[in-house]
Chains A and B, each alone.
Chain A
């Protein structure tokens, strides 16, 4: 079946540094990918919609200069947390919508735990 892979699964970085998380569709082309953030025991909150070849669309309240999203190919979207701070520590998860042939199924990555120290 279709698989979405996220990397790294866990990352610890120092405050003030930047960290990149990758979301890759392994066996299908993903026109659109979505990035969510989830705090412990809370729901998934959409951060941004990533469209291949165009600028990401950010949800209200999400700082686009802090959370840089790049969707340079049909199989890869990256989320870069710039100048990370402890309050950015969270679980980040991506999802991908297949370009065609797989109907309206949305596939999720395994998620990435970010800890900023």
Chain B
């Protein structure tokens, strides 16, 4: 079984500054995907960024980038130039790349979440 750990229950940052959210995971799988999801007060789950484990290059999406350390099983999210709209709960999530039976592919294991508040 996989586990995902986010050790920062809450974080805060000033607008325009940079913040890094931590995530570690544990798995025996060699091929998998990692995600960061944003959940604003509306509760809609919004995909922020995705990383394929077989790719060494860190994924980036505009102001969002990850530091993927496969050997250390670490997957942190860096938000640059923070904006008020970034205020939300952020979840790190793990998904196996291949499911032998094919029936549970797409199952996500989530971390505990980090509440990020961006202050003006």
Contact = CB atoms under 8 A, between A and B. Distances in A.
A46 B103 contact: no
Interface string B75-95: 000000000000001010001
B111 A32 contact: no
Q: In the A-B complex, list the 7 residue pairs whose CB atoms are closest, starting with the nearest.
A: A97-B106, A108-B45, A43-B110, A111-B43, A44-B110, A49-B104, A51-B103
Contacts of B45: 44, 93, 95, 108, 111
Interface range on chain A (Cβ under 8 Å from partner): 20 to 34
Interface string B45-67: 10100000000000000000000
Interface of B: 33, 42-45, 47, 89, 91, 95, 97, 103-113, 115
Contacts of A49: 103-104, 107
A100 interface: no
Given A32-B103, A97-B105, A97-B106, A43 B111 contact: yes
Contacts, number: 59
Residue of B104, B105, B106 contacting most chain A CB atoms (<10 Å): B106
Contacts of A41: 89, 113, 115
Contact of B44 (A32, A42, A108): A108
